[in-house]
């Protein structure tokens, strides 16, 4: 009816209501069509606020689909509107998109500067934007390897704000980054209860799934990996855009590849990682690309459990990017894995394992659980857990599956 009336303001207003409904990967193209139609209508209406909204919605949808030419065009339009409308809320949205792209491209100095500008604007703005900037700061500090001081802050925040459940999976990432795997495992089990039924299906659902996918893969949980894979698979071939564009994690296929690797579904994992490499390169997502190269190499090393030229090539590319961008945490992980894959460490006393740790590693390699190991070696479960943590830390392995493959390469355990 609005189209029949022929009034661009009426049409734009009606189209805008379509974006009040839940977004999902099955509606992206349809919503993009509506956003593009709305952009054309608002150009005639001259309503600057509506112009801003139309370009903002289209930018997010184009980013999900990897159309960076359109993303840049919409961001330029938002910048022009901001210079005319001069309202703090719209300035915050525009600046937030600039931060998202700076983080995606690994332009950390620019991201830091823009976050300072955003923080200044937020002093007299709604608190919802403060939560978004907190997410961007978290992303930046994680890549810089500066999460050491955030664990008590995030824990306190969770205690005070029950609604901030998006941060619970974020806390797991903090634990993993700090090497506190037992704490990560304990909190993860709480969230995974009843097949993640406690995860509300709201606007922050995708945040949680992305974070949980990383944690699940790091902990080597094949059963939950299958559940998460089913939930995340509709995003294959797209980019993960969080919230209203406050963050972009790059290709969703990276996370699907991680989950497939956790399930030892090697051909599927390889396909997802190849797609993630292509998408992240296409959109200039240097941070996501460096992570994908590392994750893909880790999968190849596990699959072949021996010399793998492709894995070494990917790791070297990842290391080069990590150093150029300033991704300290990734640089450390890649360096350890390169040492392991290239076989530069001695096989008998590799990674300075004690005799007991070598025994535990050998039992891990043949599939023994912690309870089995405790029985075989006549030691307590707590002692076994301590040995396992030390082994993972010394070998640079992310989980028991990687440790088993490492043991095979180093000759610590038989291959059968």
Q: Which two tokens stand for residue 115?
A: 């976050």
**Percentage of the residues of the chain whose pLDDT score is greater than 90:** 43
pLDDT confidence tier of residue 365, bands split at 50, 70 and 90: confident
pLDDT confidence tier of residue 327, bands split at 50, 70 and 90: very high
Least confident of 17-26, 39-48, 110-119, 268-277: 17-26
What local confidence, expressed as pLDDT, does residue 46 receive? 76
Q: How far is 181 from 173, CA to CA, in rounded Å?
A: 10
Q: How far is 297 from 303, CA to CA, in rounded Å?
A: 10
What local confidence, expressed as pLDDT, does residue 160 receive? 56
pLDDT tens digit sequence for 367-376 = 889 998 988 8
pLDDT tens digit sequence for 236-289 = 999 999 878 889 999 999 999 999 999 999 999 999 999 999 999 999 999 999
Strands (E) located in 229-360: 239-242, 247-251
Least confident of 7-11, 110-114, 184-188, 405-409: 405-409
What local confidence, expressed as pLDDT, does residue 349 receive? 39
What local confidence, expressed as pLDDT, does residue 416 receive? 39
Q: How far out from the chain centre does Cα 322 lie?
A: 16
Q: What separation in angstroms does the CA of 391 have from each of 115, 201, 219, 311? A: 39, 38, 14, 22
What local confidence, expressed as pLDDT, does residue 130 receive? 63
Phi, psi of 148 (to 5 degrees): -50, -45
What local confidence, expressed as pLDDT, does residue 415 receive? 38
State the maximum Cα–Cα separation within the chain, in Å, rounded to a whole number.
82
CB 213 within 8 A of CB 228: yes
What local confidence, expressed as pLDDT, does residue 282 receive? 96
The C-alpha R_g of the chain, in whole angstroms, comes to: 23
pLDDT tens digit sequence for 372-390 = 898 888 888 888 998 898 8
Q: What separation in angstroms does the CA of 105 have from each of 73, 159, 243, 285, 295? A: 17, 34, 19, 5, 18
pLDDT tens digit sequence for 78-132 = 999 988 887 888 888 899 999 999 999 999 999 999 999 998 888 766 555 666 7
What local confidence, expressed as pLDDT, does residue 80 receive? 92
Q: Which of 373, 380, 377, 217 is nearest to 295 (CA)?
A: 217
pLDDT tens digit sequence for 190-242 = 888 888 877 777 777 888 899 999 999 999 999 999 999 999 999 999 999 98
What local confidence, expressed as pLDDT, does residue 44 receive? 81
pLDDT of 306 higher than 60: no
Phi, psi of 321 (to 5 degrees): -65, -45
Mean pLDDT, all residues of the chain: 85
What local confidence, expressed as pLDDT, does residue 248 receive? 95
pLDDT confidence tier of residue 162, bands split at 50, 70 and 90: very low
User: In what helix (H) or strand (E) does residue 250 lie, and over which residues does it extend?
Assistant: strand 247-251
Which DSSP symbol is given to 251?
A: E
What local confidence, expressed as pLDDT, does residue 207 receive? 82
pLDDT tens digit sequence for 128-151 = 566 678 788 888 998 998 877 666
What local confidence, expressed as pLDDT, does residue 343 receive? 58
Full set of structural domains in the chain with CATH: 350-410 (1.10.10.10)
């Amino acid at each position: 009816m609005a189209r029949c009336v022929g009034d661009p303001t009426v049409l734009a207003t009606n189209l805008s209501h379509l974006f009040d409904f839940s977004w999902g990967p099955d509606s992206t193209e349809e919503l993009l069509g509506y956003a593009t139609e709305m952009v054309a209508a608002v150009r005639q209406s001259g309503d600057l606020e509506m112009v801003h909204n139309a370009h903002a919605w289209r930018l997010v949808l184009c980013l999900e689909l990897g159309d960076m030419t359109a993303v840049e065009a919409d961001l330029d339009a938002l910048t022009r509107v901001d210079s005319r409308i001069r309202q703090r809320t719209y300035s915050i949205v525009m600046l937030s998109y600039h931060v998202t792209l700076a983080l995606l491209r690994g332009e950390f100095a620019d991201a830091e500067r823009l976050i300072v500008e955003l923080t200044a604007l937020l002093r007299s703005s709604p608190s919802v934007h403060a939560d978004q900037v907190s997410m961007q700061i978290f992303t930046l500090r994680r890549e810089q390897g500066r999460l050491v001081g955030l664990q008590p802050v995030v824990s306190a925040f969770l205690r005070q704000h029950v609604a901030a459940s998006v941060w619970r999976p974020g806390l797991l990432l903090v634990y993993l980054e700090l090497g506190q795997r037992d704490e990560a495992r304990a909190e993860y089990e709480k969230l995974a209860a009843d097949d993640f039924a406690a995860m509300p299906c709201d606007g922050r659902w995708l945040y949680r799934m992305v974070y949980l996918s990383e944690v699940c893969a790091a902990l080597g949980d094949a059963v939950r990996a299958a559940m998460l894979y089913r939930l995340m698979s509709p995003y294959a071939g797209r980019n993960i855009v969080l919230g209203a564009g406050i963050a972009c994690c790059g290709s969703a296929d990276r996370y699907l590849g991680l989950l497939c690797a956790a399930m030892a579904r090697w051909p599927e994992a390889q396909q997802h990682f190849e797609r993630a490499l292509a998408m992240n390169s296409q959109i200039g997502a240097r941070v996501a690309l460096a992570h994908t190269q590392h994750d893909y190499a880790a999968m190849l090393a596990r699959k072949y459990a021996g010399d793998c030229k492709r894995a070494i090539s990917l790791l070297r590319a990842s290391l080069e990017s990590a150093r150029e961008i300033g991704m300290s945490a990734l640089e450390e992980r890649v360096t350890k894995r390169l040492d392991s894959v290239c076989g530069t460490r001695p096989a008998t006393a590799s990674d300075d394992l004690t005799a007991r740790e070598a025994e535990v590693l050998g039992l891990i390699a043949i599939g023994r659980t912690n309870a089995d190991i405790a029985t075989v070696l006549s030691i307590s479960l707590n002692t076994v857990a301590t040995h396992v943590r030390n082994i993972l830390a010394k070998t640079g392995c992310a989980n028991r599956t990687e440790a088993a493959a490492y043991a095979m390469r180093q000759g610590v355990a038989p291959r059968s």
